[in-house]
């Protein structure tokens, strides 16, 4: 068998075209003119058939410079053994087509799932293989080819030849060239498989054309077909966003669990929703206190949180006394309006102990568990050892462990051996993770079988005290912290405390760490949210001695030299790197306590009247330690004032390049900037604008591409990016290139000059929502800024009178309708915002519905539904209205 690859591609000087076969073999193509490229592959096909997948890449100096769109099954050939001799592929370069976002598991196996339509079984001696990407032909529809040949119906669509959808969303059919009269002209059509009277939809554009390829016997010819475009209404769907921990059912243990996800699927199906979006569900057990409720601070990127175990699914065999004690505690916890994180986890741990004592040995000896262990041991064994050592030494900070503080694979194996004194603890951890794994897989399969996509969440960071930090410390920078620059969420920026990634080290093995993580995630989810996708372009890096995000800078970045700064008309000087602390500033910050601050925290003023922080108080981290345990209002005000003093600088010195500087973000609002002359203020403003919004666009685009490629093309999940905040111009370009949906939130518009986003103008490849877990709900937002909601009421909703003080059910329904009718492919409001349209059912306590306050680093994540899922299913009037809204918006 010989495969001849041909592609027309005009390269630049020094570039070459290569064909990558089955991701194993790369063939350098030949050309005589730099446009027409060819390659030859000889194959031994001993059996009846073999799959061959290939794609084209452009290389420069041996490295990949560009890749074509990696459409699943787009270049997949089923080659027959035996007599077939030559396959001649005349290809076109695959650019990203319209509606590329359909080429993933969310659509292929769930939303557009349909029975396989095999098409005709043909194996001609001289074949012409037609292949075309048509994702629009979803359930109930088929694709056919109609043309100027008898075999193609002679332009009669009723007699057109059907295509095979084995490789959906790519359709194909092999024509018998011996039955064709050349030139061959044809078009693809889409038709209803069950209703012949429905109109056939013809593809747009001119007829397709194939001249006689001059085939020999046992040849297959693949003409260079491009994608097809049809006038088919764009598909749009709706969903619901809610954390798993917030779910409530009649059998809950004071927190939602994976069993509750299946119950939520039933409700989602009943109201015609298509997506359930959740927050991260990884294990965060670090201190066993309520501070572990933060779902983005996981101790493992693989292990699931034990609190999401559905105890009933494990079929516990309690004795009467045990059950009575468990039931009494369960009922008390379940009656609470919010989650008592510590009590919930204690009770579930007690239940797990009872079940493990009863059936742990049997489960761990089962074939199903052994299959799970074999597939997951690479992360499961280190995680189990980490948990055992954390509990033994009383801390997840492995740096403080007297033994095993440095990860050693052989030591982990020794800890996990059956004869080890740790064996029972290790076995219990295995048992818990096996149960969690099977329960979440069951939830995904149940959702998929019912046409619901389960959408997960991929946190941007990892905990400093995590299994990953212990195992592979070289992949992280522990002398810095990740966060976000100031925005509507937090005027001081956010400090998440995670270490930053050592991207250079990760790149050396082609981002193996990310690929493995995403392949594991794909076991549970068909879609996922990329938390803070901007971090893959550049992360907000904060010094280890800072508390606020204000003292951070973007990394990677192009810091400025002193000469560059001066080219803007601002003379660079040392005092721009130090806070300007004078009597006026102290009086404005501290009032009557200014003298106390001078006495306790500052060095005496120099001859210019400028103070300096005492060495023991010259970083925000030192100030934080000084005020540890002092939670009264006066102490907090004093501490925050000292933080503000320390952050009042114009520039931050780069730690990697001496003599280079980053302008401090938002410095124009602070005291030091106000002391500059008018010309210097204008110069700094120009510099600030250029640095943060223009200087880095191509640099960040090139930085993100290999990371996004590694994340996107090693799994089949639908990727959705959380791209809020300061968005570089390169971000939407790269997201489009890698088929990553954007996030659109009306109160955080991305178009310059807009106060509120316009859902009708959102990009189709996007997810829209009214509020996220980091924001107040619609009803909470309505209360926050009276002037802003009045403008929204007048300018967006179109009313001319005074806005109501509260967001009424009618008003909430109008806002929801506005979003559902928008252009985004998905509209996924929070459950709280769905409930807001029903005055009887929505929570009377508006503030209790908020999940997270980003400005509060010690936020307690304890929100729960105030209704059970069963009550939600029985809310007939609410459900009728939701179904009606979805139907009228075209999201059915």
Q: What is the DSSP string of 45-95?
A: --SSEEEEEEEEEEEETTEEEEE----TTTTEEEEE-TT--EEEEEE----
Q: Torsions phi, psi of 702, nearest 5? A: -65, -30
Q: pLDDT-derived band of residue 370, with 50, 70 and 90 as boundaries? A: very high
Q: Judge whether residue 115 has pLDDT over 80.
A: no
pLDDT for the residue numbered 251: 85
Smallest CA-to-CA distance from 170 within 76, 68, 98 is with: 76
Q: Judge whether residue 70 has pLDDT over 80.
A: no
Q: Judge whether residue 321 has pLDDT over 90.
A: no
Q: What is the mean pLDDT of residues 651-672?
A: 94
Q: What is the mean pLDDT of residues 67-82?
A: 74
Q: Judge whether residue 218 has pLDDT over 90.
A: no
Q: Torsions phi, psi of 19, nearest 5? A: -115, 125
Give the C-alpha distances (Å, rounded to integers) separating 46 from 75, 219, 264, 689, 746: 22, 18, 50, 64, 59
pLDDT for the residue numbered 206: 95
pLDDT for the residue numbered 48: 63
> CA torsion sign, 199 to 200 to 206 to 207?
negative
pLDDT for the residue numbered 126: 87
SS3 458: strand
Give the C-alpha distances (Å, rounded to integers) separating 703 from 165, 481, 665, 712: 37, 19, 21, 15
SS3 5: strand
pLDDT for the residue numbered 74: 65
pLDDT for the residue numbered 100: 84
Q: How far apart are CA 828 and CA 277, in angstroms?
A: 8
How many CB atoms sit inside 10 A of residue 622's CB?
Answer: 18
Q: What is the pLDDT of residues 694-744, one digit of tens each?
A: 999 999 999 999 999 988 888 899 999 999 988 999 999 999 999 999 999
SS3 697: helix
pLDDT for the residue numbered 431: 98
Q: Which residue has the higher pLDDT, 331 or 315?
A: 331
pLDDT for the residue numbered 166: 82
Q: pLDDT-derived band of residue 745, with 50, 70 and 90 as boundaries? A: very high
pLDDT for the residue numbered 320: 75
Per the omega criterion (within 30 degrees of 0), is the bond before 226 cis?
Answer: no
CB 498, CB 857: distance < 8 Å: no
Residue 730: which H helix or E strand, with range? helix 730-737
Q: Judge whether residue 116 has pLDDT over 80.
A: no
* Residue 597, CA atoms < 13 Å, CB-side half-sphere: 29
Q: What is the pLDDT of residues 18-32, one digit of tens each?
A: 999 987 889 999 999
pLDDT for the residue numbered 315: 76
Q: Which residue has the higher pLDDT, 238 or 252?
A: 238
Q: What is the mean pLDDT of residues 279-297?
A: 97
Average pLDDT of the residues of the chain: 93
pLDDT for the residue numbered 454: 98
Q: How far apart are CA 513 and CA 566, in angstroms?
A: 42
CB 724, CB 692: distance < 8 Å: no
Q: pLDDT-derived band of residue 197, with 50, 70 and 90 as boundaries? A: low
pLDDT for the residue numbered 82: 60
pLDDT for the residue numbered 203: 95
Q: What is the mean pLDDT of residues 110-122?
A: 71
Q: What is the pLDDT of residues 662-680, one digit of tens each?
A: 999 999 999 999 999 999 9
Q: Judge whether residue 838 has pLDDT over 90.
A: yes
Q: Judge whether residue 119 has pLDDT over 70.
A: no
Q: Any idea which of 203-207, 481-485, 490-494, 603-607 has the lowest mean pLDDT?
A: 490-494
Q: How far apart are CA 547 and CA 540, in angstroms?
A: 13
Q: Where are the beta strands (DSSP E) in 795-883?
A: 826-827
Q: Which residue has the higher pLDDT, 212 or 24?
A: 212
SS3 714: coil
Q: Which residue has the higher pLDDT, 436 or 716?
A: 436
* Exposure letters 190-224 (e unless 16+ CB within 10 A, then b): bbeeeeeeeeebbbeeeebebeebebeebbbbbbe
Q: How far apart are CA 701 and CA 737, in angstroms?
A: 11
Look-up of token digits 């006066």: 634
Query: Six-digit token pair at 693?
Result: 């919004």
CB 436, CB 355: distance < 8 Å: no
Q: What is the pLDDT of residues 749-801, one digit of tens each?
A: 999 889 999 999 999 999 999 999 999 999 999 999 999 999 999 999 999 99
Q: Judge whether residue 46 has pLDDT over 70.
A: no
Residue 384 CA, distance from chain mean position: 27
Q: Torsions phi, psi of 93, nearest 5? A: -65, 135
Per the omega criterion (within 30 degrees of 0), is the bond before 183 cis?
Answer: yes
Q: Which residue has the higher pLDDT, 239 or 133?
A: 239
Q: Judge whether residue 500 has pLDDT over 80.
A: yes
Q: What is the mean pLDDT of residues 811-832?
A: 98
Q: What is the mean pLDDT of residues 377-387?
A: 98
pLDDT for the residue numbered 1: 83
Q: Any idea which of 56-70, 655-669, 831-845 has the lowest mean pLDDT?
A: 56-70
Q: What is the pLDDT of residues 528-564, one digit of tens each?
A: 999 999 999 999 999 999 999 999 999 999 999 999 9
> Angle CA(167)–CA(105)–CA(532) in degrees, nearest 5?
140
Q: pLDDT-derived band of residue 296, with 50, 70 and 90 as boundaries? A: very high
Q: Judge whether residue 84 has pLDDT over 60.
A: no
SS3 649: coil
Residue 873: which H helix or E strand, with range? helix 869-873
Query: Six-digit token pair at 459?
Result: 């946190």
pLDDT for the residue numbered 221: 93
Which pTM was predicted? 0.92
Q: How far apart are CA 321 and CA 712, in angstroms?
A: 52
Query: Six-digit token pair at 453?
Result: 């996509």
Q: How far apart are CA 487 and CA 485, in angstroms?
A: 6
pLDDT for the residue numbered 639: 95
Query: Six-digit token pair at 186?
Result: 């044809």
């Amino acid at each position: 068998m010989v495969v001849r690859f041909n592609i027309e591609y005009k390269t630049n000087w020094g570039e070459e075209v290569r064909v990558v076969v089955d991701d194993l073999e790369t063939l350098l193509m030949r050309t005589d003119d730099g446009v027409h490229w060819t390659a030859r592959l000889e194959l031994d096909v001993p059996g009846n058939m073999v799959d061959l997948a290939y794609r084209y890449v452009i290389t420069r100096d041996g490295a990949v410079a560009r890749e074509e769109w990696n459409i699943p099954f787009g270049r997949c050939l089923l080659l027959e053994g035996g007599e077939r001799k030559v396959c001649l592929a005349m290809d076109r370069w695959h650019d990203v087509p319209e509606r590329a976002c359909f080429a993933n598991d969310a659509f292929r196996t769930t939303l557009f799932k349909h029975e396989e339509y095999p098409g005709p079984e043909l194996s001609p001696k001289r074949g012409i293989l037609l292949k075309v990407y048509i994702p629009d032909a979803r359930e109930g529809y088929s694709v056919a080819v109609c043309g100027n040949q008898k075999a193609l119906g002679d332009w009669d669509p009723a007699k057109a030849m059907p295509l095979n959808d084995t490789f959906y969303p790519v359709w194909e059919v092999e024509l018998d060239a011996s039955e064709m009269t050349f030139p061959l002209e044809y078009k693809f059509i889409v038709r209803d498989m069950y209703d012949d009277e429905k109109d056939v939809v013809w593809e747009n554009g001119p007829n397709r054309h194939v001249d006689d390829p001059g085939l020999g016997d046992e040849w297959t010819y693949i003409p260079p077909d491009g994608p097809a475009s049809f006038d088919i209404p764009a598909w749009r769907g709706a969903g619901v966003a809610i954390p798993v921990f917030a779910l409530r059912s009649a059998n809950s243990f004071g927190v939602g669990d994976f069993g509750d996800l299946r119950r939520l699927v039933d409700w989602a199906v009943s109201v015609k929703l298509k997506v359930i979006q959740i927050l991260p569900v990884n294990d965060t057990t670090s201190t066993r206190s309520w501070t572990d409720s933060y779902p983005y601070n996981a101790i493992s990127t693989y292990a699931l949180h034990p609190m999401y175990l559905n105890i009933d699914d494990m079929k516990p065999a309690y004795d009467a006394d045990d059950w009575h004690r468990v039931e009494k505690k369960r009922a008390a916890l379940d009656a609470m309006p919010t989650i008592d994180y510590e009590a919930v986890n204690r009770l579930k741990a007690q239940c797990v102990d009872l079940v493990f004592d009863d059936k742990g040995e049997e489960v761990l000896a089962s074939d199903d568990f052994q299959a799970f262990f074999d597939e997951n041991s690479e992360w499961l064994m280190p995680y189990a050892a980490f948990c055992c050592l954390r509990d033994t030494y009383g801390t997840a900070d492995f740096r403080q462990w007297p033994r095993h503080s440095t990860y050693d694979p052989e030591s982990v194996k020794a800890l996990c051996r059956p004869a080890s004194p740790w064996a029972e603890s290790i076995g219990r951890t295995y048992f818990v993770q096996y149960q969690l794994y099977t329960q979440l897989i069951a939830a995904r399969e149940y959702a998929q079988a019912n046409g619901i996509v389960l959408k997960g969440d991929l946190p941007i960071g990892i905990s400093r005290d995590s299994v990953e930090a212990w195992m592979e410390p070289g992949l992280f920078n522990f002398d810095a912290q990740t966060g976000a620059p100031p925005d509507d969420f937090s005027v001081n920026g956010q400090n998440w405390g995670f270490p930053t990634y050592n991207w250079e080290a990760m790149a050396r093995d082609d981002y193996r760490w990310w690929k493995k993580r995403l392949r594991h995630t794909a076991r549970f989810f068909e879609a996922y949210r990329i938390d803070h996708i901007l971090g893959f372009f550049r992360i907000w890096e904060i010094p280890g001695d800072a508390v606020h995000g204000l003292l951070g800078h973007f990394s990677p970045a192009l810091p400025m030299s002193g000469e560059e700064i001066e080219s803007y008309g601002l003379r660079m000087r040392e005092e721009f790197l130090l806070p300007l602390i004078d009597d006026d500033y102290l009086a404005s910050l501290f009032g009557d306590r200014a003298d106390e601050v001078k006495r306790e925290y500052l060095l005496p003023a120099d001859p210019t009247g400028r103070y300096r922080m005492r060495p023991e108080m010259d970083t925000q981290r030192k100030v934080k330690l000084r005020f540890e345990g002092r939670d009264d209002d006066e102490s907090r005000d004093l501490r925050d004032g000292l933080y503000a003093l320390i952050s009042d600088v114009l520039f931050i010195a780069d730690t990697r390049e001496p003599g280079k500087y980053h302008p401090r973000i938002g410095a124009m609002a602070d005291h030091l900037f106000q002391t500059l002359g008018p010309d210097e203020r204008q110069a700094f403003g120009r510099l600030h604008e250029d640095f943060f919004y223009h200087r880095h666009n191509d640099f960040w685009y090139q930085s993100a591409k290999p990371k996004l490629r590694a994340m996107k093309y090693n799994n089949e999940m639908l990727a959705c990016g959380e791209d809020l905040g300061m968005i570089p111009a390169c971000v939407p370009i790269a997201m489009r290139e890698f088929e990553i949906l954007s996030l659109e939130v009306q109160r955080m518009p991305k178009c310059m000059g807009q106060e509120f986003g316009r859902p009708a103008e959102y990009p189709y490849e996007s997810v829209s929502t009214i509020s996220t877990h980091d924001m107040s709900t619609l009803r909470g937002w309505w209360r926050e800024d009276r002037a802003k909601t009045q403008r929204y009421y007048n300018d967006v909703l179109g009313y001319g009178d005074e806005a109501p003080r509260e967001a009424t059910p009618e008003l909430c329904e109008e806002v929801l309708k506005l979003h559902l009718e928008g252009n985004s492919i998905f509209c996924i409001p929070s459950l709280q915002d769905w409930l807001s349209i029903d005055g009887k059912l929505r929570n009377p306590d508006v503030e209790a519905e908020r999940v997270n306050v980003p400005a509060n680093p010690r936020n307690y994540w304890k929100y729960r539904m105030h209704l059970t899922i069963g009550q939600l299913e029985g809310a007939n009037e609410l459900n009728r209205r939701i179904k009606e809204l979805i139907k009228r918006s075209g999201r059915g």
